[in-house]
Amino acid sequence: MEIEISAAGGFAGIAAAGMHKRIDPDALAPPLARQLREAFAPDALARIAAAPCRTCPDGLSYRITVTETETRSFTLREGQLPPEMLDLIDRL
């Protein structure tokens, strides 16, 4: 599994101010790897993406791409992601 996360948008409107991370859970400590595999499972991301979300002025937009046997991409608003998941992204 490989997880690629990039963020864009926000108050600045400057793409370069966003982040870009590529994570291989296998290279991380097993508890964190397990947490990541669960949180970023394509089905879990699809459920988050399907929920309507209030637009948040100046909010960020995340592009998350997960590659297992196939590659799936999701665009998610910051306000759609649960805080625990945002904390996880910040830790990576």
Partner 1 sequence: MCLCLHASHHNPLHCIVPPYMLRVIALRGDPETAAMARMLLAEDEAMRAERAAHASPPPEGAPGLLPDPDICCPDRRIHDGEGRAALPGRLVRPEGAPPTGIADADLAYDASGHVFALFAEEYGRNSLDGRGMPLVATVRHRQNYNNAFWNGEQMAYGTGDGKIFRTFLDLSVIGHEMAHGVIQHSGGLIYENQSGALNEHVADVFGALSEQRVLRQSVHEADWLIGRGILAPGIDGRALRSMKAPGTAYADDLLGRDPQPWHMDGFNTTTDDNGGVHINSGIPNHAFYLFCAYLGGPSWHLPGRIWYRALQELNNPMASFTDWADQTLRTASTLAGQGSHEQQMLRRAWTLVGIRV
Nearer to partner 1, 69 or 83 (CB): 83
The angle, 0 to 180 degrees and rounded to 10, between the axes of the packed helices 30-39 and 83-91 is 130
Nearer to partner 1, 4 or 78 (CB): 78
Residue 91 CB, nearest approach to partner 1 (Å): 8
Residues of this chain that bind partner 1 (CB under 8 A): 8-19, 49-50, 52-60, 75, 77-80, 83-84, 86-87, 90-91
CA distance 19 to 37: 20
